[in-house]
């Protein structure tokens, strides 16, 4: 692609001053504009003159794309592109790209940390000590991980890194990923169907994209298959898990603990029972974050636009445009 510089809009971002994006784009001769869009209508109003957009949470729907015929590229801050109607983009020849590798270490580390904190019930021990109680029995039952089975759902970059970090503590590891070919399957990990994985696993960690097929995937059926006193960790997408089913599983003892970094609605509504539940370890969608990961994310999201303008193709393609 050649010609004058592009007009690039950041529809929304939680990063404060967007100096990193501005530097990357300005060095290539492109203009950066910013907005604070939350709705499709706000995106349409803000992006009428945009050639490309960088998007964090704002919806890029079919209606948005129809209203913005000049828009040719959407670059997502992050791995998942569930805020973008990718089918609509494909039909209209709009490029969709992401940043697939900026926070792999951070998310895997966070997932393992949450999992081990649940296994050792660190949140409850911390509360007891802060309240003036000093008794190792007050934290409840603790089990030796070497006698437990870990289930990993989704074996992409993050899932495999999480497995590598957690596996040495567990007696066995099983996995589920219908898209990973047999020749790429990790050695020593038994491949199971989803229902059997939940039935066999004492702890499950989720590393899936959010799609129409995975929306609400983990509900009463799968949780009900788990051994009593199991654990669930989700650092992937909030929409994968039905929170009412999680709460019920905590109440009936099917789950001994749950660790959630992501939620269907963020932040979770005030008054949500999970916010006060003593066996729910909750973090504010922070698994991806480190100082270095944020810089890398922002540089690569803007870099997709620069590469597309220079070569006709962004660095990390999810949907091929034209």
Residue 66: per-residue pLDDT: 98
Residue 4: per-residue pLDDT: 74
In a domain, 1, yes or no: no
Same domain, 189 and 219: yes
Residue 237: pLDDT band by 50, 70, 90 thresholds? very high
**Annotated catalytic residue, options 143, 251, 266, 320:** 266
Q: Is a pLDDT exceeding 70 seen at residue 2?
A: no
| Nearest C-alpha neighbor of 66 from the set 47, 39, 82, 38 | 47
Residue 3: per-residue pLDDT: 56
Same domain, 59 and 97: yes
Lay out the sheet containing 203-206: strands in order across. 190-191, 172-176, 149-153, 203-206, 230-234, 255-260, 280-282
**Annotated catalytic residue, options 33, 127, 225, 285:** 285
* Residues forming beta bridges with residue 74, ordered by sequence position: 53, 96
Q: Is a pLDDT exceeding 60 seen at residue 41?
A: yes
pLDDT, mean of residues 217-235:
98
Same domain, 71 and 109: no
Same domain, 123 and 218: yes
Kindly state the tokens that stand for 169.
């503590």
Q: Is a pLDDT exceeding 70 seen at residue 1?
A: no
Same domain, 218 and 90: no
Residues 6+ apart with CB under 8 A from 218: 206, 232, 234, 240, 241, 242, 245, 246
In a domain, 110, yes or no: yes
CATH code for the domain in which residue 121 is found:
3.40.50.720
Write down the pTM of the prediction: 0.93
Same domain, 147 and 239: yes
In a domain, 37, yes or no: yes
Compute CA distances 37 → 13, 54, 60, whole Å. 9, 11, 11
Residue 221: per-residue pLDDT: 98
Domain count, the chain: 2
Task: Look at residue 175 and give its three-state secondary structure.
Answer: strand
Query: Within 10 A of 137 (CB to CB), how many other CB atoms are there?
Result: 8
In a domain, 129, yes or no: yes
Domain coverage including residue 207: 104-282
Same domain, 122 and 262: yes
Question: 240: which DSSP letter?
Answer: G
Clarify whether 285 is annotated catalytic: yes
Q: Is a pLDDT exceeding 80 seen at residue 189?
A: yes
Same domain, 91 and 139: no
Same domain, 176 and 268: yes
| Integer-rounded Cα radius of gyration of the chain | 22
**134-143, 276-285, 297-306 — which is least confidently predicted?**
134-143
Same domain, 244 and 308: no
Q: Compute the distance between CA of residue 175 and CA of residue 142 in angstroms, rounded to an integer.
A: 24
In a domain, 127, yes or no: yes
Kindly state the tokens that stand for 73.
């590229």
In a domain, 140, yes or no: yes
In a domain, 2, yes or no: no
Give residue-wise pLDDT tens across range 87-134.
999 999 999 999 999 999 999 999 999 999 999 999 999 999 999 999
Same domain, 266 and 138: yes
**Annotated catalytic residue, options 110, 125, 237, 254:** 237
Same domain, 30 and 170: no
pLDDT, mean of residues 155-160:
96
Clarify whether 30 is annotated catalytic: no
In a domain, 93, yes or no: yes
Clarify whether 33 is annotated catalytic: no
């Amino acid at each position: 692609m050649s010609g004058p510089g592009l007009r690039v809009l950041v529809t929304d971002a939680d990063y404060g001053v967007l100096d990193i994006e501005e530097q990357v784009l300005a060095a290539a001769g492109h203009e950066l504009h910013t907005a604070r869009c939350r709705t499709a209508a706000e995106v349409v109003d803000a992006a009428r003159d945009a050639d490309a957009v960088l998007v964090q949470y704002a919806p890029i729907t079919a209606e948005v794309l129809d209203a913005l015929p000049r828009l040719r590229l959407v670059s997502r801050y992050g791995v998942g592109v569930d805020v973008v109607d990718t089918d609509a983009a494909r039909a209209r020849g709009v490029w969709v790209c992401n940043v697939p590798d900026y926070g792999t270490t951070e998310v895997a580390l966070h997932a393992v940390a949450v999992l081990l904190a649940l296994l050792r019930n660190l949140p409850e021990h911390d509360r007891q000590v802060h309240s003036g109680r000093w008794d190792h029995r007050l934290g409840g039952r603790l089990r030796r991980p070497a006698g437990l089975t870990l289930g990993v759902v989704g074996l992409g970059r993050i899932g495999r890194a999480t497995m590598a970090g957690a596996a040495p503590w567990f007696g066995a590891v099983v996995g589920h990923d219908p898209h990973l070919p047999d020749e790429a399957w990790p050695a020593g990990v038994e491949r199971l169907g989803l229902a059997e994985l939940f039935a066999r696993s004492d702890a499950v960690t989720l590393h899936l994209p959010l799609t129409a097929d995975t929306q609400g995937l983990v509900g009463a059926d799968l949780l009900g298959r788990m051994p009593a006193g199991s654990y669930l960790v989700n650092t992937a997408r909030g929409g994968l898990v039905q929170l009412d089913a999680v709460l019920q599983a905590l109440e009936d003892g099917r789950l001994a603990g749950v660790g959630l970094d992501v939620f269907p609605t963020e932040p979770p509504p005030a008054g949500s029972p999970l916010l006060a539940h003593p066996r729910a370890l909750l973090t504010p969608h922070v698994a991806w974050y480190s100082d270095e990961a944020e810089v890398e994310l922002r540089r690569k999201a803007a870099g997709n636009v620069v590469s597309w303008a220079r070569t006709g193709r962004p660095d990390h393609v999810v949907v091929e445009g034209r």
